[in-house]
Structure formats: structure tokens, C-alpha cells
Amino acid sequence: MPRRPPHEPSPSGEPARRIDAAARSGRPLRDEALCRVGWREWIVLPSGPTLPIKVKVDTGARSSALHATGIEPAGQGLLRFTVHPHQRRSGDEVELVAPLVDHREVRSSSGIAEPRPTVRLEVALGPHRWPVEVTLTRRDRMGFRMLLGRTALRGRFLVDPGASFLHGHGDPREPHTLGNTP
């Protein structure tokens, strides 16, 4: 039996009831309403100095991950850590403090599981700002300082794997270029 669209009345004439997690949460319901992002973008962590960080938008990763060093307790459920926003550049490190959410076992792309602290950070991508749970780890040898995983993307963005930097190029010398949408 073919399924009827959720907006059509049932055969008995009663309006269809659609209980949808996205509708309850206020997120867009249709792909056309989602914001388009490329496979790599520039984001800002508004809780600290607004240095842009190049991220890989990674639908293959469940969780988001951020390169961090000097991770230590900051009291009352908080963690202090240092973020190095730019690959192969020293001197632009930023110290952040964020709420500790959990310690989670995360399996890396190489298949090795490691316990990682997970913090909640506000992320800004173009005109969008939202809280994201991010695991902290060493990403020295990775091409991107941060991965933005499926959980952070779900219900907000449509990933275009053929596009890059759709929301600005992130040159810290030209802050007006970050967050502009095409």
C-alpha cells in the first residue's frame, strides 16, 4: 500500500497527524529549508577571540572534534584548554573555558578508541550560531584543526561535497569576509 504524504487527510477524512522530532524542535523540515555548506568551511567560536578556524564538514564522523592542548579542570564542571586555530602557524593560540559535558570513548578514523573530554561550545558558521558538543583531542598531524560531525549538522545544514567556503574565506586580516553568505 503506498504511503500518503503527511499533509494529506487519511482515507477516513481526518487530517493526518505528523509527529516529527524536527517539527517539535523548531528545525526546518524540508531539505530546501536547510542552509547549504561546503565540505570545508570557516567557523568562529564566539566564546573566545573571534579567530576563524578551518573545519572539515564530515558527515562520516558522528561527533565533532577540536584540536586542543593544555586541557585541565577549571573548577565547577568547566575545562580550560588551548586552541591552535591555524595549521602550521604558532603564536595564535587562544585559551578557552567551556562546560565539561562528559568523557566519551571515541574511535578515530584509524580505528583506535580513546577517551576524550567533551565540552559544549557555541559555534558560528555564516549567519548561524548554535551549541555543539565537541570532543577535545590532539589533531597536530591532521589537515583540519576541527571536524564538524553529523550530530552538529543534523537538521541545520545540507552538505554540498563539491563546494568549499560558501560562508566566507576566513582571512583573519579581513574579518568582514567571515560569515558573508553568497
DSSP string, 134-169: EEEE--TTSS-SEEE-HHHHTTTEEEEEEEE-TT--
Say which CATH architecture domain 28-177 belongs to.
Answer: Beta Barrel (2.40)
Q: Which cell numbers hold the place of 65?
A: 572534534
Least trusted range by pLDDT, from 25-39, 115-129, 145-159 = 25-39
Mean of per-residue pLDDT scores for the chain: 78
Burial of 150 (0-12, 13-18, 19+ CB in 10 A): middle
Residue 140's contacts (CB-CB under 8 Å, 6 or more residues apart) are: 67
Taking CA atoms, 45 is separated from 1, 16, 53, 108, in Å, by 49, 42, 8, 23
Q: Which cell numbers hold the place of 140?
A: 597536530
| Residue 82: Cβ within 10 Å count | 14
Question: pTM here?
Answer: 0.74
Kind of pairing between the strands at 146-148 and 52-57? parallel
Between 32 and 14, where is the model more confident?
32
**What integer is the mean pLDDT of 96-104?**
93
Least trusted range by pLDDT, from 8-12, 131-135, 150-154 = 8-12
Least trusted range by pLDDT, from 22-31, 42-51, 132-141 = 22-31
Q: Which cell numbers hold the place of 73?
A: 579542570
Least trusted range by pLDDT, from 5-19, 74-88, 123-137 = 5-19
At 37-51, the pLDDT tens digits run 999 999 988 876 667
Burial of 37 (0-12, 13-18, 19+ CB in 10 A): buried
The ranges assigned to domains in the chain are 28-177
- Amino acid 47: pLDDT: 75
**What integer is the mean pLDDT of 113-118?**
90
